[in-house]
C-alpha cells in the first residue's frame, strides 16, 4: 500500500539540485560531501569556508560537488550557499544517522548527515563516490560499551566508495578493520600499504590492497557492483605528508581527551565532537588545521576517482 501513495513518493522527501541532477543525467562525475562537519565539526564561519573550499576543490578537478543534508524534512543532495549558511549558523541541528532519518523526515526537521546518512542520500541520488575526513568505527572500550559506528554497517550494504584519511584516531583501528573485513568491505590504500589514522599517515595497521592509480580502483568499484556484491568500499587516502601531525603528540592528546570524556560522562554520539574540541585546545589549533587539509585532499582525490568511474561506465 505505502509504495503506491503519492504522499510518500521519493520526490516528496528527496530533492536533488538541478546542477547535480543535470550532471548525473549527462554521466558527469559527481562527489557527495557530508554536512556533519559543517554543523558539528567547526565553528561559524570557519565551517562554511571549509565547506565551500571542499566544493571548490572538487570543481577544480572537473567534477560536481553534492553536499548532503536534511533540511525541513527533505533529504537534499546538492546545497545552495544559503542552505550551507543555514547549516553553519545553526548549532542546534541534530546529528543524523540512519536510525534518525524516519523521524526527522516525519517531523519536518533538520539533520546534519553523518558518513552513514550521506552514503544513503548519495546512493538514492545515484552518486557512487563520497569524500569525507575519516570514517567512524569501533570505539575504544567497545567490549563494554558496544559503541560501534553505524558507518561500518552502512559500508556493508550501500554501494558508495568512501574516500577518507582512514578512521578517526580516537577509535580502535584494529577492531574497526576487523568489522569491515567481517562485512566484506574492501579497504584499498591509495598509494599506501598502511591504513592511515586520520592525523597520521600510518595507524600501524595495513590495508587489504594497494592501488597506485585511481583507474584500477574505479574498475574494482565497477566489478564489485556489477557482480552484485552489495556494499561500499573504503579508499584510504593518507593526509599529505606536510600536514601530518606528530604521532606521539596526537596520541597523548587523544588519551587525555578520552579520559576527560569518561570523567564527564560523555557517551554515544557526543564523544567524537567532545574529543575533537579537546584536541583542538591541546594542539593549539593544529589538529583542526590538519583536519581541514586532509578533507580538501580527499575531496580532490574523490573528484579524480569519480571521473575515472564515469569513464569505466562508458
Cell of 182: 567481517
Question: Other C-beta atoms within 10 Å of 247: how many?
Answer: 16
Of these residues, 95, 168, 224, 269, which one is catalytic? 168
Q: Is 168 assigned a catalytic role?
A: yes
Q: Is the distance from CB of 307 to CB of 61 less than 8 angstroms?
A: yes
Q: Is 304 assigned a catalytic role?
A: no
Separation between Cα atoms, residue 37 and residue 68, nearest integer Å: 11
Separation between Cα atoms, residue 203 and residue 199, nearest integer Å: 9
Residue 235: which residues within 8 A CB-CB, separation 6 or more? 161, 162, 163, 164, 188, 190, 217, 301, 302, 305
Q: Is the distance from CB of 135 to CB of 173 less than 8 angstroms?
A: no
Separation between Cα atoms, residue 190 and residue 179, nearest integer Å: 21
276-284 long-range contacts (CB < 8 A, ≥24 apart) are 276/41, 278/253, 279/250, 279/253, 279/254, 282/253, 282/256, 282/257, 283/245, 283/249, 283/250, 283/253
Of these residues, 34, 244, 304, 308, which one is catalytic? 34
**Placement of cell 581527551 in the chain:** 257
Catalytic residues: 34, 168
Amino acid at each position: 500500500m505505502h509504495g503506491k501513495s503519492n504522499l510518500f513518493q521519493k520526490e516528496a522527501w528527496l530533492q536533488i539540485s538541478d546542477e547535480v541532477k543535470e550532471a548525473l543525467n549527462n554521466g558527469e562525475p559527481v562527489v557527495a560531501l557530508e554536512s556533519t562537519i559543517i554543523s558539528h565539526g567547526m565553528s561559524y564561519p570557519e565551517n562554511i569556508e571549509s565547506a565551500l573550499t571542499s566544493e571548490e576543490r572538487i570543481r577544480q578537478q572537473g567534477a560536481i560537488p553534492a553536499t548532503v543534508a536534511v533540511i525541513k524534512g527533505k533529504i537534499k543532495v546538492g546545497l545552495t550557499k544559503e542552505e550551507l549558511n543555514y547549516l553553519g549558523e545553526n548549532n542546534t541541528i541534530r546529528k543524523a544517522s540512519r536510525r534518525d532519518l524516519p523521524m526527522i523526515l516525519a517531523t519536518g526537521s533538520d539533520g546534519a548527515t553523518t558518513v552513514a546518512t550521506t552514503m544513503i542520500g548519495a546512493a538514492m541520488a545515484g552518486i557512487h563516490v563520497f569524500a569525507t575526513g575519516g570514517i567512524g568505527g569501533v570505539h575504544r572500550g567497545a567490549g563494554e560499551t558496544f559503541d560501534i559506528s553505524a558507518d561500518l554497517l552502512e559500508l556493508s550494504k550501500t554501494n558508495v566508495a568512501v574516500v577518507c584519511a582512514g578512521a578517526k584516531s580516537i577509535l580502535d583501528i584494529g577492531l574497526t578493520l576487523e568489522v569491515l573485513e567481517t562485512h566484506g568491505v574492501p579497504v584499498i590504500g591509495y598509494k599506501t600499504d598502511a591504513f592511515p589514522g586520520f592525523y597520521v599517515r600510518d595507524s600501524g595497521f595495513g590495508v587489504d590492497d594497494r592501488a597506485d592509480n585511481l583507474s584500477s580502483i574505479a574498475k574494482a568499484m565497477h566489478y564489485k557492483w556489477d557482480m552484485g556484491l552489495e556494499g561500499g568500499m573504503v579508499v584510504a587516502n593518507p593526509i599529505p605528508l606536510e600536514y601530518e601531525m606528530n604521532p606521539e603528540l596526537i596520541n597523548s592528546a587523544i588519551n587525555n581527551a578520552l579520559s576527560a570524556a569518561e570523567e564527564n560522562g560523555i557517551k554515544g554520539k557526543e564523544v567524537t565532537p567532545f574529543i575533537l574540541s579537546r584536541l583542538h585546545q591541546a594542539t593549539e589549533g593544529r589538529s583542526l588545521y590538519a583536519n581541514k587539509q586532509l578533507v580538501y585532499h580527499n575531496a580532490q582525490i574523490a573528484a579524480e576517482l569519480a571521473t575515472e568511474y564515469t569513464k569505466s561506465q562508458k
